[in-house]
Amino acid sequence: MNLPKSDFPRVIIVGGGFGGVTLSRKLVKQDLQVVLIDQHNYHNFQPLMYQVATSGLEPDSIAFPLRGLVEQKKNFVFRLAEVYSVEPVLKELKTSIGSVKFDYLILATGSKTNFFGNSELEEASLQMKSVPQALNIRSYMLQNLEEATLTDDREEQRRLMRIVLSGAGPTGVELAGAFAEFRKGVLPNDYPDLDPDLMEIHLLDGSDRVLASMSEKASIKAKKYLKKLGVNVHLNVMVKDYQDNLVTTNTDFSIEAYSFIWSAGVIGNPISGIHEEHINQKSQRYLVDQYNRIQGYADIFAVGDIALMQTEKFPHGHPMVAQPAIQQGAHLVSNFKRMLKGRELKKFKYFDKGSMATIGRNKAVADVGKFTLGGALAWFTWLGVHLYFLVGVRNRLVVFLNWTYNYFNFDRAARLIIRPYQKKKISGRLK
C-alpha cells in the first residue's frame, strides 16, 4: 500500500462508522499519522437508513465522504480498500490494495446482519445493513406497486403489496411504521387504482414484545402506535424459511409475500488474524479490556459494535448502537494522548444517554434514565438527536428540509426507482 512518509507513529483505523469517524477527526490533531481504511468512501448514518428504504430521504443526505472528514489533511490518509487480515506479530495489515505496517491498529469494523446460521434466509431475504441494500428495498417496493397496477387479481395485488418483516427491534419497528405511513400518505395519491388496504405490513418477532431491548413501558407504547398505524404485529413467532414467496414460521402462521425483509439482529464483523480465544464466539465481537485494547494484544484496539467490553453493569457488553462507538472513540483518543506522554491510561465508563425509536409522525418512544417518554415529545426529541449526530452541515440542512416538507405534505419525495432490483433464483430459491 502506498502511503505518504511520516516521522510520526502510524495509527490505522479500519472502518468509517461512528467510532472510526470520531477517532479520525480527533486523533489527527495529535503527533500521529492517521490512516483510515474502509471498503466504502463514505460514512453511512445508519439510524436514518430506513428512511432511504421507504422513500423518505435520498442516500446522499445520510452519507458523508470520508475524505472530507478532516480539513487539515497533513497527517490524515484515507484508502479505499477491503481489509483481509491482520498479522499481529509483524504489525501488518493485509488489504485488497496491498499490505501496510502499523504502530497502532484500531478496529472499528462494526456489525453485520445476524441470520443465526440460516443461510437459506440469508440468500432469500431483503436486508438493510448498507445503502445499496436500502435502495434495493425502496426499488423493489415501488416495482411491486407498479406491477400491482397491471393485474385485476386482488389476491395477486395483495401478494405484491404485502410486506413482511422479521425482527421487531428498532430497525423492524421503524421500517414497519414508515411503510404504514407510506401506505397512508403516498399510496392513495400515486396509485389511485390500487386499494390501500391490500398493502399489509406484518411485523414478526420471536420474543413476547416489540423493542425487547427497551423498557416494558416503551414496548407497550410502541405496540400501540404500530397497531394504530395498521401494522399487524405477530409476537412469539420466529421465521424458519422463505421460499417461493412463502414465509413459514415455528407456529401454524405462514404468509405469502413478495417482499420479505430480515431485521432480526446483528453480530460483530471481525477480520481474521486475531486469535479465536479473544473473540466471543456467540456475538463475534472482540474481547477488550476497559481501555478498548483487545485482550492479548498491546497495540491493537477495538471500538463500537465489534468491541465486547464486559463490566459489572454491562456483563454482555455495551449495546451495539452509535453512542458506545462515539464515546469509546473519544475516550480512546484521550488515552492516546496519555500514551504519547507516558501517562497512565484511564478506564472507559459508558454514559447511557437513553434509547429511542420512532414509529411514525408524532409517534416515538424514548427511555431516558428511569423515565419513558412517548408520543410527540419523544418524536421531536428523536428528530433533534438524529439531526445533531448527522455528519456534515449540508446533510443536517437537507434532512431537516425533507422532514419539514414530509410533515406538512404527507409526502415521500424520494420515491424513485433509480436502480431496479431483480430477485434471482438461487438453488431453487428466490433472492
Residues 123-147 have pLDDT tens digits of 999 999 999 999 999 999 999 999 9
Half-sphere exposure of 128 (CA within 13 A, CB side): 33
φ, ψ of residue 49 to 5 degrees: the values are -65, -30
Residues 356, 173 contacting (CB under 8 angstroms) = no
Outline where 83-169 has alpha helix (H): 119-124, 131-148, 154-161
* Catalytic (active-site) positions: 174
Closest by CA position to 106, among listed 42, 11, 6, 29: 11
φ, ψ of residue 169 to 5 degrees: the values are -80, -170
Residues 21, 47 contacting (CB under 8 angstroms) = no
Closest by CA position to 37, among listed 17, 60, 62, 7: 17
Q: Say which residue the cell 430497525 belongs to.
A: 171
CA distances from 49 to 57, 161, 212, 229, 361 (A): 8, 21, 21, 21, 17
What topology does CATH give the domain 119-264+354-421?
FAD/NAD(P)-binding domain (3.50.50)
How confident is the model over 156-187, as pLDDT tens digits?
A: 999 999 999 999 999 999 999 999 999 999 99
Residue 94 CB neighbours (<10 A): 17
Q: What average pLDDT values come out for the chain (431 residues) when binned by 10 residues?
A: 93 97 95 97 96 95 95 91 97 97 97 92 93 95 97 96 97 97 94 97 97 96 97 97 95 96 95 96 97 96 97 94 96 96 95 93 93 95 94 94 88 86 55 43
Q: Does domain 10-39+81-113+267-340 correspond to CATH entry 3.40.50.2300?
A: no
Say whether 172 sits in a helix, a strand or coil: helix
Residues 131, 44 contacting (CB under 8 angstroms) = yes
Cross-strand pairs, 37: 14, 79
pLDDT at 427: 40
pLDDT at 424: 56
C-alpha cell read off for 376 = 410527540
DSSP state of 344: P
Question: Looking at the chain, how many residues does it have?
Answer: 431
DSSP letter string, 268-284: E---BTS-GGGEETTTT
In the chain, residues under CATH classification 3.50.50.100 are 119-264+354-421
In the chain, residues under CATH classification 3.50.50.60 are 10-39+81-113+267-340
Distance in angstroms between the alpha carbons of the first and the last residue of the chain: 36
